[in-house]
Structure 1
Amino acid sequence: MLCQGPCDMSEPASHECSGHTHIGKVRAENQDCFAINSEYNIYIVADGMGGHENGAVASKLAVTLAEAEMIKLLQRYKYLADDPDGLNARISEVFDNVNRHIFLRNKGKRGLSVMGTTLSAVTLVGHRMLYSNVGDSRIYLFDGTRGQLKRVSRDDTVAEDMVSKGINTIELRESYYQNQLTQAIGTKTYISPNTGYIGLHPDDIILICSDGLYNMIGQDELDQMFKTCEADNAGMNDLVDGLIQKANDNGGFDNITAIAIRV
């Protein structure tokens, strides 16, 4: 199921999950899009960019294509269930195909007419989470045993590259480079998806979100919201609604999208 614009989605599944997207308080249009496919345990978030509704078109295209191709992949390569590296290689090919499709749609376009999007995807296979991303929509994992929240995805931004070179992250918080992407779906001929996998345990929680959420909620505050959710045994609907509300309370400067999955 794909969702764009005013949307709240909760599906019965082997894993409790919920997704919500909100326009925020400033933007005139919601260019975020997400999908939850409980049958195949596929979860996707995209944050579009481009003028004249092109960002919304790009994010919807990316999510629709990625979900369809990932379903085919999981059907075709069942024998790779115990080979996460092999499966991630195939998922990278899915990202490449999505990128190629949108890049060709951009042929001959200039300036604001060029559309692009971030793309972050999670699929649960056995007791593992396989994750992939291009851009700066993030994937977090809350360790239910240790009560710790950590980011597992990599931001494709100039700021992230600068941090890796030892530049102070506090300085970057106010930096022009924080939201300058080094790669996105549809804007270049080739991309290099960030991929990985992690073993999961009961009561772990996965969060996939656009930058409109994490830019409005500091790491400490985000961490505390997950700890409170775990302590109160709150549902994923309550967690997602709380995250969206907190991001709006703190300014809501961008579109806000979140998917939460409890293992």
Structure 2
Amino acid sequence: MKDFNKFLGTAKYIASEPLQNAVNVAIALGRPLLVKGEPGTGKTLLAHNIARGLGKKLIVWNIKSTTKAKDGLYIYDTVQRLNDSRFGDRDVSDIRQYIKYGKLGEAFASDEQVVLLIDEIDKADLEFPNDLLNELDEMSFHIPETGETIRAKHRPIVIITSNSEKELPDAFLRRCIFHYIEFPDRQMMEEIVKVHYPDIDKRLLHEALKKFYHLRKIESLKKKPSTSELLDWLQALIAGGISYRKLRSELVFAGALLKNEADFMHLPRNEAV
């Protein structure tokens, strides 16, 4: 594995050693990296920081329930061609000018290697992952309208995220390197917090993490607070000038942590959690 292709995290993204290894193995093998983990564990931010850490351009393909695999390859703009044939003075016989690359097409056409994020692949229908198999394997796709085959100039670094809303096909999983991002333990969480708030009072951080992890242990919570919510909460505490003593006796600004009405029922008012 070449040193210049190694991902070691960034100043703004603390990556565990297993996560670093998964990224670097995927790069070395030229395989997509499928990343799972509970919301707020940094799945999407991973791709952004791989691009930042390796000095590469990032292309983001946000998947929706209506997204089709072909959307990521190219779009044939028939409406524009029709308008040009009726009202314009362009030569509409050249179909190539009406072919617009999707995000995967952009990654293939790039003159340099890019990082391609396929975000929340499980939002699409069940056939979507299988429809991408050939393109991700062969790093090429065919455009019937022009008779051209587009081949990747450089194999992109493909990061795929999933929230496990749907099971992904076995054939697709076999072609991916897989990593599940575990929720950070307290020690790693302290490192993450200090990246964002290097001057935070140690006593305030101690009390905040104590309450945060206590909340996450409550099995009946509908939505456990995540890393992103912890960071928002800490920012609110700092901005509000909340002392560690006050936090010790009261869960201040609980709305930054809990996002479901029923979850507030588990909290004694004005008491330690």
Same fold, judged at TM 0.5 (above) = no
TM-score, structure 2 normalization: 0.27
TM-score, structure 1 normalization: 0.27
- Looking at secondary structure, tell me which structure has more strand per residue: 1
